[in-house]
């Protein structure tokens, strides 16, 4: 991997972090539970996982007996964040709280995945 490619990957992670910051800042300003740090970590983590999924196994691509499917990691990011988001949803009587937080986390992960890819 050359220096230009490495700088490109670092830039992707930084852009994902900036997007997570923007979403998290809005959530922090409204005093919501999942705020700045949570959204930055999710966006950066999703971007990193997509980068690893896409470029992390280039050394084994030509070997016999190895089949790689980068979309498998993406699917697991969606499932994992969905699980985390489900934990933020609280139902009391007829009131539902945390639904916007859950969808915000899920969307932030999607943004990080898109930037990482």
Q: Report domain extents, the chain.
A: 3-57+64-116
Q: How confident is the model at residue 1 (pLDDT cuts 50, 70, 90)?
A: low
pLDDT in tens, 66-102: 777 878 888 999 999 999 999 999 989 889 889 899 9
Task: List C-alpha distances in Å: 59 to 1, 11, 40, 101.
Answer: 11, 23, 30, 39
Give the position of tokens 């499917």.
69
Among residues 1, 38, 2, 3, the alpha carbon closest in space to that of 20 is found at: 38
Sign of CA dihedral 10, 15, 19, 25: positive
pLDDT in tens, 22-75: 999 999 999 888 899 999 999 999 999 999 988 887 777 777 877 778 788 889
Residue 20 has pLDDT above 80, yes or no: yes
Residue 115 has pLDDT above 90, yes or no: yes
Q: How confident is the model at residue 2 (pLDDT cuts 50, 70, 90)?
A: low
Task: Give φ, ψ of 96 to 5 degrees.
Answer: -115, 125
User: 87 near 22, Cβ under 8 Å?
Assistant: no
Q: What is the pTM of this model?
A: 0.86
Q: What is the mean pLDDT of residues 3-23?
A: 92
């Amino acid at each position: 991997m050359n220096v230009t490619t490495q700088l490109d990957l670092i830039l992707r992670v930084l852009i994902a972090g900036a997007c997570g910051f923007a979403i998290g800042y809005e959530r922090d300003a409204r005093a919501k539970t999942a705020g700045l740090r949570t959204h930055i970590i999710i966006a950066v983590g999703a971007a990193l996982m997509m980068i690893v999924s896409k470029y992390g196994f280039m050394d084994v691509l030509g070997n016999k007996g190895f089949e790689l499917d980068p979309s498998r990691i993406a699917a697991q990011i969606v499932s994992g964040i969905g699980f985390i988001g489900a934990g933020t949803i609280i139902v009391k009587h007829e009131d539902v709280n945390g639904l916007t937080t859950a969808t915000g986390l899920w969307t932030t992960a999607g943004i990080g995945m898109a930037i990482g890819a």
